[in-house]
Amino acid sequence: MKIWVVLLFIPIHMGVVHHKNSPIPHKDVPNVVTLTTYNASVDQCDSTPLVTASGFKIDSLHPGKHRIIAISRDLKKLFKFGQKVKLSNAGRFNGVYYVHDVMNKRFTKKIDVLINYNSHTDKLDNVIIEKL
């Protein structure tokens, strides 16, 4: 009789014990990056500036309307081509964008926002990028 009581009690008791070394779930840490802007031009891209790394074709007259970002290669582990992301703490660039391009391998923790040719270029630090 004692054996049954012990066997039934142990599994129940083990489920409610919290060990000091067990990890406590926590909220994901936000991805903080530097934001810069770029134009779809040969001097800022490759020889095919109107086609992104994902194969997306850019409107040559209004490239900014697509709300495209290029990500540094270290961020490719977190974000996939075509993925919708939200930028915050980015001033006039706050909002929803789509990942369609990658940056040169020399950059890390950085994103590039595609803008129209006549738009003012910008650089912002501490921008938060998150998946939607």
CATH number, domain containing residue 94? 2.40.40.10
Q: Give a yes or no: residue 115 inside a domain.
A: yes
Domain that holds residue 37: 31-131
Tokens of 112: 């590039």
Residue 110: pLDDT band by 50, 70, 90 thresholds? Answer: very high
Residue 2: pLDDT band by 50, 70, 90 thresholds? Answer: low
Q: Give a yes or no: residue 7 inside a domain.
A: no
Q: Give a yes or no: residue 12 inside a domain.
A: no
Q: Give a yes or no: residue 24 inside a domain.
A: no
CA atoms of 23 and 121, how far apart (whole Å): 44
Q: Work out the average pLDDT over 78-94.
A: 97
Amino acid of residue 51: V
- Give the H or E element holding residue 98: strand 95-102
Amino acid of residue 21: N
In this predicted structure, what is the pLDDT of residue 46? Answer: 87
Q: From the CA atom positions of the chain, what is the Rg in Å?
A: 23
CA dihedral 41, 87, 54, 59 (to 10 degrees): -50
Contact between 52 and 98 (Cβ < 8 Å)? no
Q: Give a yes or no: residue 18 inside a domain.
A: no
Q: Give a yes or no: residue 6 inside a domain.
A: no
Q: Work out the average pLDDT over 50-60.
A: 96
Report the SS3 class of residue 100. Answer: strand
Q: Give a yes or no: residue 90 inside a domain.
A: yes
Q: Work out the average pLDDT over 97-109.
A: 97
Contact between 51 and 57 (Cβ < 8 Å)? yes
**Mean pLDDT, the chain, integer:** 86
Tokens of 79: 């974000």
Q: Give a yes or no: residue 2 inside a domain.
A: no
Tokens of 21: 């070394």
Domain tally, the chain: 1
Residue 28: pLDDT band by 50, 70, 90 thresholds? Answer: low
